[in-house]
Amino acid sequence: MSLDPFALPETLNLAEFFLHAQARQHPTRPALYCGDDTVTYGALAEQVNRTAGLLRTLGLESEQRVLLAMPDTPEFAYAWFAAVQVGGVVSAINPDTKAEELEYFLNYTRARVLFADGITLPALAQVRARCPHLKRVLVSRGAHGGDLDFAAERARTPPDPAIAATHRDDTAVWLYTSGSTGFPKAAVHKQHDFVFNALTYALPVAGYRASDKCLSVPRLAFGYALGTNLLFPLLAGGSAVLFPEKPTPDVLFAHLKKHRPTFLTLVPTSLNQMLGHPQLESVDFSSVRVALSAGEALPPELYLRWKERTKVEVLDGIGSAEMFHIFISNHEGDVVPGSLGKVVKGYEAKVCDDDGAEVPRGEVGTLWIRGDSMALEYWQQHEKSKQTFRGDWCVSADKFRQDENGYFWFCGRGDELLKVGGKWLAPIEVENALLQHPAVKEAAVVGFKDQDGLEKPKAFVALNAGHAAGSALEKALQEHVRAKLAPFKAPRQVVFVDALPRSDRGKVLKGQLRG
C-alpha cells in the first residue's frame, strides 16, 4: 500500500479502501472463514453491495446512523461495510446486550436501522416502543413479526456497487469507551482515522501479510478486534476466521486445529485462561507466527510463561477508543516483557504532570498521545470532551512512566494508583508478583482504608486447582510479595475468590472489588 498516511486523498470511503480495492485485485482469494463456509473477496464485495442496495431501498441517507448488534459472522462484515459504503455512520454493540442497554444505545445513536441477531430480539421487544428513531430492523438469525430477514432481503436485492463520495474528514464510525461507571460514551471518528492507523501501525508494526489467517478473542463490536480481525487482514489481502460462539479456550483450540491461523488477537485474560487449560500441552501452535495483546497491560510473568509453552511471540500494546487502535506497541525483534513498547511511528506520546508539563524520564504521570486517528469528540459529552481532547492531544486516564530507552510502562489508571505510607504503589506491580506464585491463577489489587483511615493494598486472588484458601496461604502470599518487592507493597489483606469480575472486554472491574 503506497498511500501516505499524512496526505490522504480528500475523497475517502472505508468500504473502498479496506475491501473493494482488494476485491478487484484478487476476487477468488479467501477473505472470511466461518464454520465450514469460506467467503472470497469477490463474494464479500457482492454481499456488501447487496446490503448497500438494501439500505438505500430502506431510505437510509448520508450521515444517518446504523447500529449493529451482531455476533462475529460474515453478516457483521456485510452490514458494517455497507453502512459506510452508502455514507452512513456505523457503531456496534454486543448482540446479547440487556434491554436497558439496548434502549440506551438506540436512543443515544438515534439509529434509523438496526442489524440484530436473533438473541437480541427479546430485549428489543421490551424497549422498541420507546425508541422513536428506529425505523427498520434486519435480523440475521430468527426474524419474526415486522422484522426483515437479513439473508432473504439481501438475496432479493440487486447489488448496488455505488460508493458514496465521502470526505476523508466525514464522520464514519462511533467507538464506545469502556467507562467504569454509567453507560459507555461514543468517540466520534472520521473516515481517515482508520486508514491512518492501518498505514502506521497495522502494516509496518503488527506486520499483516497477504498470507495471514487471523483469529481473535475480542469480538468485532470492539474497535480492537474490528481492526485486527477484519479491517487489517483485508487491507493486507489476508483472511479472518469468524465465529459466533463465546471465545472460550475450548472454542479457540478447536479453531486453531481446524483453521491453522498465523495471527492471534488476545487479551491478557484469555491468554491466562489458555495457559491454565488442561488441553494446552496438546495444542499445536506451530502455525501461529505472532500474537497481539491489548486491553490491559500483559504481566511479564504471563508473557514469559506463554512464550515458553507456545513459542509464539506476543506484541503487547495500548490503544483506545479515542485513538481507534494501538499507538504504543512492542515491535517484533524488540519486545521488553512488562512494557508496552515504544510509540508507533506517526504518533507522539508524552508523560505529563497534572498541569500538562512533561515529567522527567522514570517519573509517573498521565499519558498524553497525539496522532491523526484521534476522535473528534465524545458524543453529547462536551465538558468531558474538553478534558480529554486538548488541541492535537488526547489526554488519557492512564498513568505511565517512560524509561531512559523510550519504553512505556503502564502504572494503572489514575484512580487505581495507591499512596501507601507517602509512597506511590502501582497495583500492576503487585499483581505480577502474585502471579509468580504457583498457587495464583489471577490477581487484582485495590486500595482500602485501615482502622486508622490510611490507604493500604488489598489483593483479590483466584487460585489454581490443587491449592486451598486459608490464613496459611494468605501469609505465604504476603511473604512472597515482600521477597520480591519493597515491603510496603505487600497486600495487607488477601481475599480469595472463585474468579475476578470482568467486563465484556475482559477488563477487571476493580470498582466492584473496591465496593
The mean pLDDT values, 10 residues at a time, for the chain of 515 residues are: 84 98 98 97 98 97 97 98 98 94 97 95 94 96 79 96 98 84 88 98 97 97 97 98 96 97 93 91 96 89 93 96 97 95 98 94 94 97 95 94 96 76 77 91 88 83 92 93 87 93 79 81
Instruction: Let me know if residue 152 belongs to a domain.
Output: yes
CATH code of the domain covering residue 434: 3.30.300.30
* Residue 134 placed within a domain: yes
Q: Would 186 be classed as within a structural domain? A: yes
- Residue 301 domain-assigned (yes or no): no
pLDDT recorded at residue 145: 64
Query: Which of 502, 508, 396 has the alpha carbon at shortest distance from 445?
Result: 508
- Give the pLDDT of residue 49: 98
Residue 442, domain member (yes or no): yes
Question: Which of residues 190, 225, 246 is at a domain's end?
Answer: 190
Domain limits for position 106: 14-190
* Number of structural domains found in the chain: 2
Asked whether residue 467 is domain-assigned, the answer is: yes
Alpha-carbon gap, residue 346 to 215, rounded angstroms: 27
> Which residues have C-beta within 8 Å of that of residue 196, sequence separation ≥ 6?
5, 8, 346, 371, 372, 373
pLDDT, position 314: 97
pLDDT score of 421: 66
Cα 270 off chain centre by = 13
User: Which CATH number covers residue 164?
Assistant: 3.40.50.980
Residues 6+ apart with CB under 8 A from 138: 54, 79, 113, 114, 115, 116, 147, 148, 149, 150, 153
Do the domain assignments include residue 481?
A: yes
Task: Examine the fold and report which residue of 168, 190, 212 is the final residue of a domain before the chain moves on.
Answer: 190
Structure-block grid coordinates of residue 431:
499483581
| pTM exceeding the 0.85 threshold for the entire prediction | yes
Of 190, 223, 250, the position where a domain reaches its end is 190
Query: Does the residue 274 lie in any domain?
Result: no
